[in-house]
Amino acid sequence: MSKVNGIRKGCKDVFNAFLVALATFAGFFEFPVIYPCYDIPNRLIPFSKCISANDLDCWVHFYEDDYLFERLWRNPKRYLPILQRYNGVILPDWSLYRDMPLIMQLWNIYRSRAIGAWLQVNGVKVLPNLRYGDKRTYKICTDGIAKRSVIAVGTHGTLKTLEDRTIFVQGLEVVVRRLQPIAIVVYGACPDSIFQKYRDMGIKIYKFESEFGKAMNSPEEVI
């Protein structure tokens, strides 16, 4: 791991370098390190709703369309006081499509981790969101994430086709093998065909119903 260079004086910070001014980095692509968290969310609220919500006894998540939380990257300082009011944050879930150039997938992983490192510096509890696009991102998406801690994954939209499901299952196997998490927070469908073997390994699985599932009156419950 290495320390980031200081922010250059006299230059406008168009890359949000201030987010990682106190961060350390890991892996070939130097993703900001996210330090371990062992908390389990009690309830979840999407970022787009947390801004005006009054019930603060929950965790903020970003499992929604990118455009709904891109403003966080454009102006992180504006939303910090809002996020600090909640129990914690599951890190942003910027899209990693398989047909995206690898550099764009890496950029979206970096942005999520940069936000996370900065939130931790500012006293916010953070759970890393593990998102991978194609097979090239399986291993590198775990760089900078602590082993034997709690991680989060989103399944909504990742299990629609056989190819989608295969990519998700294979990627999750790599993530679990490398990180050996003690618990996985799952947002969306949590089929036994995918997650039961991890329960059998002693990993706690906590499932949270997606907003889409709520709208469809899905029977999903938190385990």
For 44-103, write each residue's pLDDT tens digit: 999 999 999 999 999 999 999 999 999 999 999 999 999 999 999 999 999 999 899 999
Question: Is 44 a member of any domain?
Answer: yes
Question: Is 222 a member of any domain?
Answer: no
Q: Which amino acid is at 218?
A: S
Question: Is 220 a member of any domain?
Answer: no
Question: Is 221 a member of any domain?
Answer: no
pTM over 0.85: yes
Cβ-based neighbours of 223, under 8 Å, separated by 6 or more = 190, 205, 206, 207
Distance of alpha carbon 198 from alpha carbon 213, whole angstroms: 23
Question: Is 117 a member of any domain?
Answer: yes
Secondary structure class of 63 (helix, strand, coil)? coil
Question: Is 223 a member of any domain?
Answer: no
Provide the domain limits for residue 144. Answer: 2-215
Q: How many domains does the chain have?
A: 1
pLDDT of residue 215: 53
Question: Is 76 a member of any domain?
Answer: yes
Cβ-based neighbours of 205, under 8 Å, separated by 6 or more = 183, 184, 186, 190, 195, 198, 199, 223
CA nearest neighbour of 57 among 85, 79, 38: 85
The answer on pLDDT for 9 being more than 80 is: no
Question: Is 184 a member of any domain?
Answer: yes
Give pLDDT tens digits for 196-220.
999 999 999 999 998 766 655 443 4
Alpha-carbon radius of gyration of the chain: 17
